[in-house]
Amino acid sequence: MIWFLLKRLGWMVLTLWVVFTTSFFLMRAVPGGPFDSEKKLPAAIKRNIEKRYQMDRPLIEQYWSHLWATMRCDFGPSYKLEDYTVNDVIGQGFPVSASLGILAMTFALSLGLVSGVVSAVLRNSVYDVSFMVAATIGIAVPNFVLASLMIVLFVFFWPVFPAAGWGELRQIILPALCLGAPFAGYISRLTRTGMLEVLGLDYIRTAYAKGLTTREVVIRHALRGAILPVVSYLGPATAGILTGSLVLEQIFALPGMGSHFIEAATQRDYTLAMGMVMVYTFLLFVMNTLVDLSYSMIDPRVEVD
């Protein structure tokens, strides 16, 4: 276990360095800059601004300076948000994005596991067909289209939820449902497939022969082996939730990391965009590592190496 974690730590450091280097030079290779605008600044003022943010130095010198600061978890000042550092912006936006992501993943896992188990146990029934049709629709409909429909239904037609904002639980329920719906569909189908495979194994038939009820067989014996495909999917699902939140935070006006990231990209805020990219990369790597570790906890036959 320790050797596995040390190797993952080494790969994480290497991955973060590659992502940092690639992002740094790609952003500066694109024409334009953070201080270019329709109203052209006088040359003297532009030189003073570039000097303040150390953009007048050679590019390789900027790279090493920014890399050293990033290694100390200091992403520097924002080029566009005056009096704010990138760390301040991330500190304010991360709780919003984390709350949205956790609620969306909770919804996806709860609905997906329950519907998948019911579909497998009641195979070819009305419940099975209904859940699988709903899962297919959830997978096929993009979350921004679903968000538009949800706003029309539950904001204007039935005013149950607010259209936007942040600060109350009811303000984040609707975007979390829209964000988690496609992943609930995938999890439902994976759970159904895994459960059907496990229910046909010998030890399940033995459990039924001992007189155990269907509920006991499913919960105590079948479910543990059936959710392994779901656990494998949690890594890509986390990536999908992080990227999907970029759009939904704009639609529902949530002040999360996604909104700041889009603003940084459109306004060429180099330091803010770099900070967001590094945080997203770190979160994805950590989540994939946790998924691999959970394998050995769910199935003792699996050993981490």
Q: How many CB atoms lie within 10 A of CB 238?
A: 20
The alpha carbon torsion through 127, 130, 132, 133 (nearest 10 deg) reads: 170
Measuring CA to CA, how many Å separate 196 from each of 83, 114, 137, 234, 258? 57, 14, 22, 20, 38
Q: How many helices (H) and strands (E) does the chain have?
A: 13, 0
β-partners of residue 77 are 85
36 pLDDT band, cuts 50/70/90, is low
Tell me the pLDDT of the chain averaged across its residues. 82
User: Residue 17 has what pLDDT?
Assistant: 94
155 pLDDT band, cuts 50/70/90, is confident
Residue 72 phi, psi dihedral angles, 5° rounding = -95, 15
User: Residue 40 has what pLDDT?
Assistant: 59
pLDDT, tens digit, 9 for 90 and up, residues 46-85: 565 566 566 667 888 888 988 898 898 888 888 777 778 8
20 pLDDT band, cuts 50/70/90, is very high
| Range scoring the smallest mean pLDDT among 111-120, 193-202, 206-215, 278-287 | 206-215
pLDDT over 90 at 19, yes or no: yes
User: Residue 158 has what pLDDT?
Assistant: 87
Q: Which amino acid is at 105?
A: M
In angstroms, the CA 44 to CA 177 distance is 51
Residue with the two structure tokens 């155990």: 212
Residue 85 phi, psi dihedral angles, 5° rounding = -90, 165
13 pLDDT band, cuts 50/70/90, is very high
Phi-psi category of residue 31: left, alpha or beta, with phi > 0 → left and psi -120 to 50 → alpha: beta
Residue 55 and residue 62 in contact, taking contact as beta carbons nearer than 8 Å:
yes
pLDDT, tens digit, 9 for 90 and up, residues 201-210: 788 888 878 8
Residue 19 and residue 284 in contact, taking contact as beta carbons nearer than 8 Å:
no
Residue 77 phi, psi dihedral angles, 5° rounding = -80, 150
* Per-residue three-class SS string for 273-293: HHHHHHHHHHHHHHHHHHHHH
| Range scoring the smallest mean pLDDT among 31-45, 64-78, 283-297 | 31-45
**Whole-model pTM?**
0.80
Residue 174 phi, psi dihedral angles, 5° rounding = -65, -50
User: Residue 53 has what pLDDT?
Assistant: 61
β-partners of residue 85 are 77
Residue 104 and residue 237 in contact, taking contact as beta carbons nearer than 8 Å:
no
Distance from CA of residue 205 to its chain's centroid? 39
14 pLDDT band, cuts 50/70/90, is very high
Distance from CA of residue 175 to its chain's centroid? 14
**First CA to last CA across the chain, in angstroms?**
7
